[in-house]
Amino acid sequence: MTRDPAASGPAPSEAGGVLTIDLGALVANWRLLAARAPGAECAAVVKADAYGTGIEAAVPALARAGCRTFFVAHIAEGRRARAAAPQADIYVLNGLPPGSGPAFAAERLRPVLGSAEEIAEWAAFTRAEGLDLKAALHVDTGMNRLGLAVADAVAMGERGLEGCPVGLVMTHLVSAEEPDNPLNARQIAAFAAVREAFPSLPGSLANSSGAFLGEAARHDLIRPGYALYGGNPQPGRPNPMRPVIGLEGRIVQVRWVEAGDTVGYNAQWTAQGRRRVAVTSVGYADGFPRAASSADDRAGADAIVGGARCPFAGRVSMDLIAIDVTDAPPGVGRGDPVSLLNPAITVDDVAARAGASGYEILTSLGRRYARRYLD
């Protein structure tokens, strides 16, 4: 067990919450995804601080396991990934901001180019510098977000790259987590046409959920993010991934409330009988979603206290969550741990109770936690 030297969090004994990040599970998830894509390379998407888990810990663990290609969103993230993986190919998904060529060159970062302007700028910059640093070409097959339109990409073809160094052509799925959505087949067909226009470039289509769409979605390189961190790539079906994140808060105070008493801001939760309530030192300022609050007409998230599953009582506040521990062992009290994320209550479970996305919960993981990394 190690503490990440780059983590700026407090000591576990003083923290409101302790976040445990299981790097062994992260690596096992990467291996599982790699095994799902035989013949293809498995990259890792580590944007947004490796989905909140910490680039400085996640990237070296994945690189040691054999991951050679990483995707980030921003140049600054790319710089941190570079320090953690000196040999890797690192792509920057959000493209080439005007004039940023030198920043890419300094860290050997590869822009993901999605427009004629970006292609022209990267071509001119690399030519002027005599730099052979291959970018990726992003083609938009349906998201209407980033990338060249399919027709423009096909019209351009490989010759149209005009000396712009490109080593990968990619697109991104819109609804890969819905295997029956007809958009998947449309995007897969469109990308096949794009590949024909760039016959010498390897291709990449699948994100986490895309890796579960079968061989037509595989191509040469898969780009999972969410599933690496334990998220379920197949919602509604058993999760094949290992949980990576654990979160424990600490009981600050336990109190009894009487029938009819309310708990928390705006009196949203009313005790239906005499209840014991444990107030825990984690709140929405730690990134725990306020939408996971409970109310008289709505179940919120649960926690595990003294081995018992216990429901939230009222609103999640900034630094505290009240939990109905009436059914927990009578001895639980001040200083005892409260498990908010664990193998039985996953990020996906909290997301479902909060009406949120598990991606959002992961990437909101707070800076106030003490972080503990398991190897």
Ligand X SMILES: *Cc1c(COP(=O)(O)O)cnc(C)c1O
CB proximity list for 146: less than 8 A, separation 6 or greater: 93, 94, 95, 112, 114, 138, 140, 172
Calpha distance 100→105 (Å, rounded): 9
- Report which residue type is found at 112: V
Q: Rule CB under 6 A: say whether 42 interacts with ligand X.
A: no
Q: Rule CB under 6 A: say whether 226 interacts with ligand X.
A: yes
Residue from the set 20, 126, 184, 207 that interacts with ligand X by CB under 6 A: 207
Instruction: Write down the least CB distance from residue 112 to ligand X, Å.
Output: 7
Residue for token pair 């029938």: 259
Q: What is the SS3 assignment for 83?
A: helix
Residue at shortest CB range from ligand X: 225
Q: Which helix (H) or strand (E) holds 337?
A: strand 337-341
Residue for token pair 């009819």: 260
Pair 370, 18: CB distance under 8 Å: yes
> Among residue numbers 161 through 190, which ones bind ligand X (CB under 6 A)?
172
Instruction: Write down the least CB distance from residue 224 to ligand X, Å.
Output: 5
Instruction: Write down the least CB distance from residue 220 to ligand X, Å.
Output: 14
Q: With respect to ligand X, which residue has the nearer C-beta, 85 or 362?
A: 362
Part of the chain binding ligand X (CB under 6 A), chosen from 14-22, 185-193, 225-233, 251-259: 225-233
Q: Rule CB under 6 A: say whether 45 interacts with ligand X.
A: yes
Q: How is residue 103 written in tokens?
A: 């920043």
Active site residue 265: yes
Active site residue 47: yes
Calpha distance 289→32 (Å, rounded): 29
| Bridge partners (DSSP) listed for residue 135 | 166
Q: With respect to ligand X, which residue has the nearer C-beta, 207 or 339?
A: 207
Name the catalytic one among 47, 51, 229, 369: 47
Q: With respect to ligand X, which residue has the nearer C-beta, 184 or 208?
A: 208
Calpha distance 114→261 (Å, rounded): 57
Part of the chain binding ligand X (CB under 6 A), chosen from 16-24, 84-92, 223-231, 323-331: 223-231
Full 3-state SS string of 177-214 = CCCCCHHHHHHHHHHHHHHHHCCCCCEECCCCHHHHCC
Q: With CA atoms as reference, report the closest residue to 225 among 14, 77, 7, 95.
A: 77
Calpha distance 133→145 (Å, rounded): 25
Total residues at the site for ligand X (CB under 6 A)? 11
Q: With respect to ligand X, which residue has the nearer C-beta, 70 or 226?
A: 226
Cβ atoms within 10 Å, residue 229: 31
Q: Is 145 annotated as a binding residue?
A: yes
Q: Rule CB under 6 A: say whether 250 interacts with ligand X.
A: no
Part of the chain binding ligand X (CB under 6 A), chosen from 9-17, 21-29, 221-229, 260-268: 221-229
Pair 64, 37: CB distance under 8 Å: no
Residue from the set 9, 225, 249, 300 that interacts with ligand X by CB under 6 A: 225
The contact pattern for ligand X, residues 127-166, with x = CB under 6 A and - = no contact, is ----------------------------------------
Q: Rule CB under 6 A: say whether 208 interacts with ligand X.
A: yes
Name the catalytic one among 51, 91, 134, 265: 265
Cβ atoms within 10 Å, residue 167: 16
Q: Is 143 annotated as a binding residue?
A: no
Q: How is residue 355 written in tokens?
A: 């009406």
Q: Rule CB under 6 A: say whether 362 interacts with ligand X.
A: no
Between the CA atoms of 162, 105, 221 and 150, what dihedral angle is there, to the nearest 10 degrees? -40
The catalytic residue positions are: 47, 265
> Where is the binding site, in residues?
145, 318
Interaction site with ligand X (CB under 6 A): 45, 47, 93, 172, 207-208, 223-227
